[in-house]
Structure 1
Amino acid sequence: MAQRQCILYYIIVVLDILVLFGVIGDSRLFTKDEELPPHKDAIKTIKTEYGDMYDCVDFYKQPSLDHPLLKNHNFHPEMRPTTVPKAQRGKEVSQKERELILDGMRLKDGGCPKGSVPIRRMPKHGAVRPPITSLHHLHHTNSSNYIRPGTFFAIAQTKNDIMKGHYGVGASISSYHPQLLSPVQYSSAEVIIKAARDSITVGTTVNPSVYKDNLTRFFVYTVVNGKPCFDGECGFISVRTDIPPSFPIKDLTTRGGPIFSQNMLVSHDPRNKNWWLEVNGEVIGFWSSQLFYGLANSGTYIACGGEVYYPGQKNAPEMGCGFKPQRRRRLKYVSYCNQFVR
């Protein structure tokens, strides 16, 4: 008998009740990527228009596969989910619109050679934001929750219920470029699935401490048994040659202009138990269930919304568009969620 698996899918078409992204002058604030040494197993290097340097590394030599629990894995670069969840996504975009959005995230010239994946050059000892380990203390949907000093969330969420499994979370998140007031701040829009000391967070962010610039970037944040990392440093296994985590978002929403959004979906594969990431309908990679204890089979908590961090500072960075919704005006869908069964 097929197991009924519920995925709570949040659609955020206009992220006005959340608020996200920012600018600190121009983009690059730290050491340039080209000044960093290439990965030892690089077979090709791609420099983007933003100055990022991505080294193409054999699929089997990407950092996440160095984990001792994955020593005898049978993964391969052609892996894809065995089932595709059917979500009610609200406004659907045409294939042409979808391709335009994806083209803004792809590496030029098709990206890396077949059988390899792009890994961005990053300093070995970069700053890492404090891990999201306290979210299980939030058990009501609330637009204002302080988790630790300097951190503010505006999220829709479920109770943390160990008796109810969640098998995915997704959202269509409007892409903005919010204003930061210092390089130690960050501002993100994200979806989260969590269980015990494990969590998966994906979304878009401006985070100078991690990415060494003020660009709005697609990001992946993984916590395995309380230990956090970004993108492909641990946990997340990429299967794409052309769309890496950390890639800048090209099409950004401006107030009064066209709305650009990124569809993010994390879903559990009932056959191989892996967690898969789709961005704008394209499979990007996965997390092996072998790494997790809490998330080995399902999550106990899911959330979608905005997060900002401003430690020891009076003024917070922007979240989302940076403006409060105009209640007297006719609003489009600000946010809504829909539950489905696969």
Structure 2
Amino acid sequence: MALILLLFLGMSISYYEVDARSKNLPDMQQSFTRSLNLKSILPTMNSDFECIGIYKQPAFKHRLLKNHKIQLNPTFSRYTMQTRLPFMEKTFQIHNSNKGCPSGKVPIRMLKLRQEINYNFSESQPENFRQYSRNPYQHFATLETTPSTTYHGASAWISASDNLLVQGTQYSLSQIWLQNGPLSELNSIQVGVGVNPRVYGDDKPHLASFWTGDNFKKTGCFDAICPGFVQVHPRITLGQTIEPSFTGGLDGKDYIAIKVTQDSVSGHWWLHVEGSDGSEDVGYWPKEIFTHLRKGSSLIKFGGEAYGPPNIGSPPMGTGKLPKTSFPNSGFFARLQIVDSKFRELDVNPIDMKSYCDTSSDCYDLLYHGDQGAQFRQAFLFGGPGGQCGV
């Protein structure tokens, strides 16, 4: 149980800290701009999911959502997450043959699978996590905001690789964190690409998420396993497999475009992924399940997290290659944006960002040097092979 709970508990961390502008990457922009054959991909719904009535989904078992009225669409207008480029029109594909659920129903992970992972946090969480002690075998390579201000969202292109060797209780994540509140009451939404055999039963990348409203004391779970996340999209949902395509692109360089935005009217936190027709509204975390995130986020992080028990070691992160190599071999985050206190969507400012890594650069690393041209804009390379990364 303790090993499963480690999946998203990276809150109290001893990092080494480097100013985001401090690394000199003279050929990084050239490496980025050489690679034009990226493909944006969407999750695939398979037999692990069933279609159920939209008001019968697990979210409405939450005591604070008994009388909740579903918001079918965000109040802001539909838009693409970023300006679409000519190469995207040629290479973007939705790798999903399933037409999704019929009207009035949404895809939810099968009940049997939900029950297998639906643990009671208040009873099963180890004492060391209640005291916010970091597990020494949990490692991070992240870029995070530094100003003490309010954010209402974040977005990024996140690379997805389906050839990571992750086994047993290991996991490897590439995700966005949105957090607020003191550590003892921490509110957090985390979403991105996750490889976790113990949770998903395979070593494939999934659209993975986690949330908590009290630093994992009594609330929080993966995806939509426990009551909380409200699903509205008939086909795309949390926990689905992300299936890269290798036709006409760089092997392993597919990406998924993810955005989490707080609705300025309802206060709910919406999850969007980029589709061929623009931004697809997957669903939302209702404001009612949070205390501090109701007001916005005070911290945003982008990057990787990995865990491996001492007898196995740490798994690969990103693509498994260190970012000191060229772009085609490295994991990446591109088009990093935040939604500021006035609900304006802006590229991150390098002056306001710091990079962190808590291992030697032989295990994992992160290289960020600001703007990387019109295609990638604010972007960084990250990841590494893992191994015996120390404590």
Same fold, judged at TM 0.5 (above): yes
CA distance in structure 2 between the aligned counterparts of 1:211 and 1:327, rounded to whole angstroms: 30
* Gap change, CA 1:54 and 1:265, over 3 Å in 2: same
1:152 to 120, 139, 153: 139
Q: Does 1:82 align with 2:75?
A: yes
Report what 1:171 is aligned to. Answer: 156
Report the residue type matching 2:273 in the other structure: V
Q: CA deviation at 1:311?
A: 2.5
Aligned: 1:126 with 2:117: yes
For the aligned residue pairs, the C-alpha RMSD in angstroms reads 3.6
In structure 1, runs of 5+ residues without a counterpart are 1-12, 15-45, 138-145
Distance (Å, rounded) in 1 between the aligned partners of 2:319 and 2:103:
38
- Map Cα deviations across residues 186-224 of structure 1 (whole Å, 9 max, x no partner): 011000101122111111111011111111111121112
Correspondence for 2:300: 302
Percent identity between the two aligned chains:
28
Deviations 1:130-176 (A, max 9, x none): 89x99xx9xxxxxxxx94221111110123x6x51111111100111
State the 1:312 CA deviation. 2.6
Contact 1:150 1:313 survives alignment (8 Å): no
Match of 2:52 in 1: 57
Distance 2:100 2:141 in 1: 36
TM-score using structure 1 length: 0.70
1:69 alignment partner in structure 2:
64
| CA drift at 1:68 | 1.1
Aligned length: 276
Q: Give, in angstroms, the shift of residue 53 of structure 1.
A: 2.7
Structure 2 unpaired stretches of 5+: 1-30, 33-43, 345-391
For 2:26, the equivalent position in structure 1 comes to: none
Aligned runs of 1:109-120 on 2, under 5 Å?
110-120=99-109
Kindly indicate whether residue 224 of structure 2 is the aligned counterpart of residue 229 of structure 1.
no
Q: CA deviation at 1:321?
A: 1.1
Give the one of 310, 313, 316 matched to 1:312. 310
* Partner SS state of residue 322, structure 1: coil
1:250 to 239, 243, 252: 243
Whether contact under 8 Å (2:159, 2:333) holds in the other structure is no
Structure number having the greater helix percentage: 2
For residues 181 and 47 of structure 1, the distance between their equivalents in structure 2, rounded to whole angstroms, comes to 22
Q: Give 1:124's aligned amino acid.
A: Q
Alpha-carbon distance in structure 1 between the residues aligned to 2:108 and 2:78: 28
Contact 1:127 1:210 in 2 (8 A): no
Q: 1:179: how far off?
A: 3.0
Contact in 2 for aligned 1:194/1:302 (Cα 8 Å): yes
Q: 1:275 aligns with which of 269, 293, 297?
A: 269
User: Match of 2:286?
Assistant: 288
The residue type paired with residue 117 of structure 1 is V
The one of the two structures with greater contact order (alpha-carbon pairs below 8 A, sep at least 6) is: 1
User: Within 1, Cα distance between the matches of 2:235 and 2:333?
Assistant: 31
Letter in 2 for 1:292: F
